[in-house]
Each structure stands twice: as structure tokens, then as C-alpha cells.
Structure 1
Amino acid sequence: MTSASNEEPSANWGECMEAAVEIARKAGQVIREAVKHDKCVTTKSSAVDLVTETDHLVENLIISSLRAKYPSHSFIGEESSAAGEKCCLTDNPTWIIDPIDGTCNFVHSFPMVAVSIGFAVNKELEFGVIYHCLEENLYTARKGHGAFCNGLKLQVSKETDLSKALILTEIGAKRDPETLKIFLGNMERFLKAHVHGIRVIGSATLALCQIAAGAAEAYYQFGLHCWDIAAAAVIIREAGGNVIDTSGGPLDLMSRRVVAAGTQEMANHIAQMLETITYERDDYNANNL
């Protein structure tokens, strides 16, 4: 039986998406101003897992604004989770927020920086908003309504030949020798398959938007979080693409692994070639209390 908290008509999710667009633009303004100045940088899980005062400021801005509008909704935020809040996806309408995707880029003023806001109901993703704030490109998608960038419809690449593919990935914060060996081995496998190229741009959400836009054929990563993939998964699917687990099965938002591609054939081919890098699930602590 559906709980009372998620009995709102689905038409309301469009209103929620409009609220997400509005707050993403406001957050982008804060980030555009902050990137011009010196940053106070600290670390989280490792020396390369960076966080700034702007990450916290922007997350607080987004969550406080949305909570004022939707007090019964749930929230998962990157910095809140890093501070110890449970990362738990329930049937309740849930906002999944990355205040600054590409914090390392932000620290160095490298322009691939985005705000990402995903929204799920009954554990199903309903819409996604990603704002490439330094370039002012707004990516949006709502389930069943298509995907757009600045109002222009997005369409994935329909290439199925791996040797004609441009593949995107990210290194991740885990840099121990065994992880690096597997990461480089996966990359070597694709290079030996004569893919056109491999790119690392430092922002998972913006890399995934390139799949939706047809600018690259596939993306894979181990070690990303639910807030890196939630909004982008809707955008890719609504652009005609596929988002799956690296095992080849359905996407598990909390598994910290993903393959995205324009076609199912390409997604399956990528998944079959990957050696797994193991990460603790995002909901591990929530499931083990």
C-alpha cells in the first residue's frame, strides 16, 4: 500500500522540478561568484577527496529552500552524508543533491563544475536537474517528458561499434595500488579494443550529460555516489539511452557503480569488459544500524 507521504499526484512532480531548476540556478550564481576567490579546502575520505566551504553553503541553500516548500519530503545530500547523516532511499519523495559536482575542478577553477538535483518517489527516479554553472547550461529531464539542454531536446548516440566510441570515466578518490591497477587495466582493455578515445573530465554528472547529448558513446565508473548519478540517470534515459549496473543488471542507485551508454548493445559491451573495483555501498550504514 502506498504511504500517505507519497500520495501526491504525479503532476506535482513537475512543480517540484520547476522548484529544482530555480534553486539550481541560484546555487550556480553562488558558485560562479565563489570560483573567483580563494577557497578554504579540507579533505574527507582521502587527500584527493576535497570539500570547500562553498560545498556546505550551497547544500544548505538547496536543502533549506526545498524543505521550506516540501517539509514532508526526505533529503540525501553529499555533505550531509559525509557528516554522518544516513544515506537511505525510502518510498518517501526524496531529493538527492550534489551541491558541487567537480569540487576539485572548482578548487582549481577548471570549468567542469555542476549542481545536481535528482528526485525519487517509491525508490523510482522521477526527474533530474543538472546545472553546468560556469557555462550556464541547464540539463533537465522528467520521466516520460524527454531530456533537454537549455530547452533543446537531447538525443543519445546510437553507435554500437566499440571501435567507434568515445568513452568517458572518472578516476575516483581511492588511489591505493590495487585499485589503480584495476582502473588502469580497465582503461587498457578499451584502448586495446581501439576505441576512438577515453576522457576524464572530473565531473561525473557533466560527463553523463555528454552521453545524453550524444557527444560521447559510453561512461563507466566505480566509486561514484547516488548524488552523482540520480539526476543524470533520468536525463540519459529520457534522451533515449541506457543506464545499468557494471554487472549488466539494472541500475542500483546505492551500489556506487554504473555504466551508461546510448545503446543497450554498447552498455552491455562495456560492462562485460570491466573488472570490478569494490566500494562500500552508499546505504551500508543505513542498512547496518
Structure 2
Amino acid sequence: MLTEIEELYNFIHPLAIKAGEILLDGYEREEKQVDIKGAFYDVVTDYDNKIEEFLKGNILAKYPLHKFIGEEETAKNHNITMELTDAPTWIIDPIDGTSNFIKQIPHVCVSIGLSINKQIVLGVVNNPAQKKLYTAKLGQGAFCNGKPIHVSNCERVRDANVAYEVSLLHVHNMANKHIKRIYHVGLHARRMLAYSCVVDELCMVAAGNLDAFYIEEMYPWDCAAGSLLVREAGGVVKNPFGGPFDIMKPDLICAGTEELRLEIENLLRKADKEQSVGGGAVDMASSVSESKLKEYYDVALDLVIKCGAIFEEGYNKPKLEVMVKDAFFDFVTVYDRRIEETLITGLSSTFPESHFIGEESLAGSKQLPELTDAPTWIIDPIDGTTNYIHRLPHCGISLALTINKQLMLGIIYNPAANELFTARKGEGAYLNGKPIQASKATTIASAVVGNEVTLMNVPRWRDVCLKRAYKLGSHAAGTRCLASAAMSLAYVAKGTLDTYHVDYLKPWDVAAGVLLVREAGGVVHNTKGTEHEFNVMKPNLVAAGTDQLAQAVIELIKQADQIKDYIFA
């Protein structure tokens, strides 16, 4: 004897198949009748109405005492808070993913759920565009095209494919909340995906194609059938912030494992506590906007120019008081410290969300701070301090800004030579307000190479530096050592140097210069080659006007490092 659920399943199964045939007929038509229900993004077609009327008519003809909650009927009656009773209630989305349906994107489904005693006991989801029919009966497992399906066993976000409805950003009063959440989940997940079809995403979690899915602000018809499929496939479906999952207010995180679901919940909680991507006060939606970046740039440029007067005061003194930091060649002056203090004070007062990585602030520290997503100013108050002390004009103030670990702004100012280099990401590089362009040299034989042979004063680097100096110098048109990474990179940006190589430095030595080179059309690679990502916090680099030249320099460095007979006592 058939149970009640088996009987209801046998009744609805062929209707779901027929509803899919109606959907597919409309899906394959190029032209569809489209209307706007409420907001500009909330669309409905004649096929939504056809399918819902078909299902409702057949259900009520067979079971006249059953209740019915359908998306389109609810929209027509302006009643989206219909009470769920203990009576058998069919919860139907005739076409979930209507915008996909219109554009023939194959994430589009007929979704049918059945609630008895306020519990979802039956779910059928038909995606005819992908030829997939998902079914679930309470306590009997989940199936796709008659074959059992099971959720993934992924337990960590970093290993997970997570779906998140990015389309929620078009709802104005939800946008700021969701951009923060998208940022935090997307930063940690292996991949973040968005298909704009809630029930299809739930089905993909049930089948193990996705590891997790998060959604809020939806309606019962979006989630009724899919939530049962996930549970019957061995997954978890819970309210994002505690309490039981409520199908009539279906905010949810679903995942293959509770460990993964909980990690996503914690990321959402973290996002909601923050006002910016990095935890500061900058609004998420505008933290890296053109207007905000210009504000950072204008304040920073004004401060750097003011620091130029401090720089010149010391540069023009016949004799400076000089202090030694960690090594006999590592000098600092009172002017280094005054400039860094002026920059940090000015920037932090205007932008209190700022973090700082400054040479003098970190003097004596054995470990660099971690570069976070927060707006972070990387400061070398005087790059080339030895030049500065000896009044050699290759020295300057270097200031860079990172946001989300990306270089966004760079300024190098050398008052001794009246050179002000500036760059903003995507805006090009400039010298004293005029655009500059890196060299077009492609061969080492035609190139003037910058190379820091001065680093031979460090015993553990001496042999490597000398072998590289030999290999580069013997192949290049000329070699220069300016003893200032910031100025050398600035000169690559303006085409004075064709290429520049340095290892073993700190982020403040190169950060601004790296952005200048890139914005001037040049390239910056890890010394080990393009298979190794350049890391501004461990800045071993080859910079050049062209990739061909950079690759030639990298190859010569590799050859130099293989030399065995250049060993010095």
C-alpha cells in the first residue's frame, strides 16, 4: 500500500515533467513576453504564468482541500506573508531564474515543494535546459534523474566552491551589507560563484557540485524544494545567525558539512562588524573608487611636498649628525625620522583607517608586519640615505599606498634634482606632472642596466651580487649603480634606465617605484621568473620597460647563480 507521500510524489512527478516541457518551449524561443513586477530586476514572462496555472489547476483538481503558495499568484495578490498552516501546502516557483530564462542561460528550473504540518516532505526540481530532474522525499534520500546524489565532504572554506547571490547588490538597501559579505567569503573561498537561480544552486549543493551556498531575503518558493534536497543528500541547512531554518523566511547557509557551514557563518559575522574591506572607516562601496583614491593622492602629495622642505634642510647642511642602525653601512639621520613622523601624523589624522609600514618606525624590528587588506602606507622617508649624507643627488622620499594588498598609489620626490614622480593605479605615471613612458629596449646588448652592486658590503650576499654584476655587466650596453632602489625604479619608469635588478631589500625601498614602472608601461617580475609571483613584502625583482628585456635579465641571473668558481675568501 502506498504511503501518502508516495502517492503525492507519483501524482506530481509527471506534472513536473510536463511543466519542464512548457518551460523548455519558452526557453528556446528568441522572443518572449516580458513584464516588470516591481523593481526593474523583478521580471515575469507569460511562461511563468502558464506553468503556475498549469500546476495549480491540476493540483487543486485532484486535491481541492490542499493549499497553494505560488510566486506569481502571490505577486498578483500582493501577499508575500501568506501563513503556512498544517494543511498540505504546495509551494511553487514556476520558473526560478526568470532572467536566465529570458537570456537562455541554462540555470532555470521549475521548483515544487510540498509542506505537511509545516514540514517540507517532498521536493521536485526540473531543469529541462540541463536535462536534470531532482527529486527528494522526506527520509528517503535525494536523486538526480533517478540516481542517488550526495553532498560534498568539504570542511574548509579555502577548499570550497561557494555560491553567493551577487545579484542581491542591485537591491539598494542591501548592497552595503552584501558587498562586505561577498568580500569576506570571496577572499577565503577557493572560488565564489553566482548563478542567479536559488533552487538550482541548492540542487548543486545537494549533488556535490557546489560545497556551500548562502542566501538571504528570499521567498519560500525559492527554497522549499531545494532545502529538502540538500538535507536528504546529507547536507545541512540552517539560519545564518542561529535559530531554526524557517521556510517562510528562508535566510540560509547550506553546506555539505557543518564545519564548512560554521566557517562561512563566522565570516559573515566578521563582515557585519566591519565598515570596510580592511576593518577601517572607509565605506566598502567606495574604498577603491576613483574619487576616494584621488582623495588619498591629493593629501599624500601635499604632505610629501611639505616634507621636501625638511629633506632640503638636511641635504644642504655641510655636515649632518648621522647614526648607525644595524650595520656599519646602514645610516639614519634626524631628517629621516622627521619626515616619516610628519607623513604618519598627517595621513593618520586625515585617514584614521590607515595602517603604516615605515622604515624608521620598524627600525630594529626583526619581523615585518603582515600586509593586510586595510589601506596601508609604505614609507621610506629618505631612500638612499648614504647618498643624502654625501649630497649625491640620487635620493628621495618614497610613499606608496596599498588597498586589498594591491599597490594603488606611488610618489617619489627628489628635491635635490627637482624630480617629483607620481602614479595612481590605472592613471599612468608622471614626472613633474608630465606623462612618462618606460623604455622599449628588448635586448640586453642595447640596455643600460641598474644593478645594486653596493649590496656586496653584506658578506652573505657578496658572492651572489658579484656574480650577477659580472654576468649583467658583461652583456649590457652599460651598468649603473645609484644606491637607491626608489630612484632606480623611477628612472626605469621614465626610460632613463632600461632595466633594474635588486634583491634582499624591504617593501619601503621599492613599493612606490614598482607602481611607477607598471603605470609607465613597464613590467616588474620576481627575480626567479614569472612562475613566481612578485611580492612587495619580499621584493626580489627585475623591472624593465619590456617583458622581453626582463626575461633576458632573469635568464642571465639564473646563469650567474650557476657559476661555481667565483668564490671569494
- Structure 1 Cα separation of the partners of residues 468 and 288 of structure 2: 44
**1:267-282 → structure 2 map (5 Å cutoff):** 267-274=550-557
Distance change in 2, residues 1:217/1:86 (3 Å): closer
The structure whose RCO (Cα within 8 Å, separation 6+) is larger is: 1
Q: How far did residue 9 of structure 1 move?
A: 4.6
Q: How far did residue 182 of structure 1 move?
A: 1.5
Match of 1:211 in 2: 492
**1:159-178 → structure 2 map (5 Å cutoff):** 159-171=441-453, 175-178=457-460
Please say which of residues 81-90 and 179-188 is displaced more in the overlay. 81-90
Match of 2:526 in 1: 245
Q: How far did residue 106 of structure 1 move?
A: 0.9
Q: 2:336 aligns with which of 52, 55, 58?
A: 55
Contact 2:320 2:333 (8 Å CA) reproduced:
yes
Look up the equivalent residue of 2:276 and give its one-letter code: S
Match of 1:4 in 2: 275
Contact 1:217 1:262 (8 Å CA) reproduced:
yes
- Structure 2 Cα separation of the partners of residues 91 and 9 of structure 1: 11
Distance change in 2, residues 1:126/1:9 (3 Å): closer
Contact 1:48 1:173 (8 Å CA) reproduced:
no
Q: Are 1:103 and 2:374 counterparts?
A: no
- Structure 1 Cα separation of the partners of residues 381 and 472 of structure 2: 32
Match of 2:320 in 1: 39
**1:97-246 → structure 2 map (5 Å cutoff):** 97-171=379-453, 175-193=457-475, 195-246=476-527
Question: Any runs of at least 4 consecutive aligned residues in structure 1 with deviations exceeding 6 A, and if so which?
Answer: none
- Structure 2 Cα separation of the partners of residues 210 and 4 of structure 1: 39
Contact 2:455 2:462 (8 Å CA) reproduced:
no
Q: How far did residue 171 of structure 1 move?
A: 3.3
Look up the equivalent residue of 1:232 and give its one-letter code: G
Q: 1:264 aligns with which of 541, 547, 552?
A: 547
Q: 3-state DSSP class of the match of 1:71?
A: coil
Task: Write out per-residue CA displacement over residues 135-162 of structure 1, whole angstroms, 9 at most, x where no aligned residue.
Answer: 2211011111111101111111111111
Q: 3-state DSSP class of the match of 1:134?
A: helix
- Structure 1 Cα separation of the partners of residues 337 and 419 of structure 2: 22
- Gap regions ≥5 residues in structure 2: 1-182, 185-273, 278-283, 562-569
Look up the equivalent residue of 2:298 and give its one-letter code: E
Contact 1:127 1:142 (8 Å CA) reproduced:
yes
Match of 1:79 in 2: 360
Contact 1:34 1:54 (8 Å CA) reproduced:
yes
Please say which of residues 27-36 and 77-86 is displaced more in the overlay. 77-86
Q: Are 1:14 and 2:285 counterparts?
A: no
Match of 2:303 in 1: 23
Distance change in 2, residues 1:176/1:104 (3 Å): closer
- Structure 2 Cα separation of the partners of residues 252 and 145 of structure 1: 22
- Structure 2 Cα separation of the partners of residues 144 and 188 of structure 1: 37
Q: What is the root-mean-square deviation of aligned Cα atoms in Å?
A: 1.7
User: Looking at CA atoms only, which structure, 1 or 2, has the larger radius of gyration?
Assistant: 2
- Structure 2 Cα separation of the partners of residues 155 and 223 of structure 1: 27
Q: 3-state DSSP class of the match of 1:81?
A: coil
Q: How far did residue 54 of structure 1 move?
A: 1.0
TM-score where L is the length of structure 2:
0.47
TM-score where L is the length of structure 1:
0.90
Q: 1:90 aligns with which of 330, 354, 372?
A: 372
Task: Write out per-residue CA displacement over residues 21-55 of structure 1, whole angstroms, 9 at most, x where no aligned residue.
Answer: 11111111111011122222111221001111111
- Structure 1 Cα separation of the partners of residues 276 and 357 of structure 2: 17
Q: How far did residue 83 of structure 1 move?
A: 4.1
- Gap regions ≥5 residues in structure 1: 278-289
Q: 3-state DSSP class of the match of 1:4?
A: coil
